Every structure is written in C-alpha cells, then in structure tokens.
C-alpha cells in the first residue's frame, strides 16, 4: 500500500470551525493531508496570506498528519505536483454544490488522476462561512464557537 494523500484547498480568510471539521474528517480518511491556502483565491482578503497560514497552523496543530502550505497558480497543477489522490471539499448548501461540481469537472479534465471528494458540513455549521463570520465580527458580534480561538482574537484585533 502506497501513502495516500488528500489536499484541502481554500482561501481560509479566515479558517472557521466549519473548515476545521472538514479537514479533521478528510485527514482521518487518508495517510497525509495538505491544507493549501491559495494566495489569489480571495478578492481583497481581510488577512494577508501569511496570517492565514499562521491561523490555520494554530487551528490544526492537534492533527499530526496535516500540514499547511501557501500556494498559488492552478489548483490542478498544484495537486499533481504534490502527488495527492484527492481534493476534499466541504458542501453546505445547494449553491456550493453547483459551483463545486463545476470546479470538480474542470479539475478532473486538467488532472484526471486526482479525484474530488465532498464531505457534508455538520448541520450546525451549515450557516457558517468566512464571509458571514467577518460580517458579524466587523460589527462587534460574538464569533466565539464559530471560529478557533486564535482566529477570534485576530478578528477582534482587526476590527478594534
């Protein structure tokens, strides 16, 4: 049996408890898990890519087979260069589904040996997204329980 590797790509601006859950579950299905933070995926991001990497590392420190990387360029190329078997994505709602299905078809075309697998967000995370978290934090709403503690503190610092 060769080592099987999964890639969890995203902009993670910032990482939420919904992301952490999906990464934990993807990491449990494979030998190794790479979390790839795409520099260019978010338009006008709140956090610099370095900050996003650092927050992901803190939020995922309890997962020994996960490593966080900063990346760039075409996802399919990146996946291939890392020798992953699969991309893992979380699905929350129907509109996620349609967009992600389009991306999965395109990635399959560009790198046929890389599979995309979808995991369903836990029901209590179905309303969670990085942008809704930022909207709440921006106006002083309480985001504890929605994001890892270091992210909560970083949001507070940004919007103070």
* 101-108: long-range pairs with CB below 8 Å, 24+: 103/75, 106/76, 107/75, 107/76, 107/79
Calculate the CA 141 to chain-centre distance: 23
Closest distance of CB 151 from a copy of itself, Å: 16
138 is catalytic: no
Quote the least distance from Cβ 129 to a copy of itself, whole Å.
Answer: 7
59 — phi, psi (to 5°)? -70, -20
19 has catalytic annotation: yes
- Beta carbon of residue 101, minimum distance to a copy of itself (angstroms, whole number): 5
Q: Which DSSP state fits 141?
A: -
The smaller minimum CB distance to a copy of itself, of residues 50 and 105, is found at 105
Tell me whether residue 51 or residue 69 sits nearer to a copy of itself (CB atom): 69
Find the helix or strand (DSSP H, E) in which 104 lies.
helix 94-110
CB 20 within 8 A of CB 35: no
Q: Which is nearer to a copy of itself, 141 or 149 (CB)?
A: 141
Chain residues that interact with a copy of itself, rule: CB under 8 A: 1, 3-4, 25, 28-29, 31, 73-74, 76-77, 85-86, 91, 93-95, 97-98, 101-106, 108, 110, 115-120, 122-127, 129, 132, 136, 139-142
């Amino acid at each position: 049996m060769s080592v099987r590797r999964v890639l969890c790509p995203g902009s993670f601006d910032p990482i939420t408890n919904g992301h952490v859950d999906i990464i934990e579950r993807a990491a449990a299905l494979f030998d190794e898990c790479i979390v790839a933070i795409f520099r260019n995926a978010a338009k006008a991001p709140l956090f610099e890519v370095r900050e996003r990497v650092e927050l992901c590392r803190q939020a995922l420190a309890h997962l020994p087979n996960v490593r966080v990387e900063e990346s760039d360029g075409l996802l399919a190329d990146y996946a291939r260069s890392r020798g992953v078997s699969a991309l893992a994505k979380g699905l929350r709602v129907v509109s996620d589904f349609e967009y992600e299905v389009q991306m999965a078809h395109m990635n399959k075309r560009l790198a046929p040996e890389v599979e995309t697998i979808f995991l369903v967000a836990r029901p209590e995370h179905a309303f969670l997204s990085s942008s809704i978290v930022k909207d709440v934090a921006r106006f002083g709403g309480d985001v504890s329980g929605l994001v890892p503690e270091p992210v909560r503190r970083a949001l507070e610092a940004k919007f103070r």
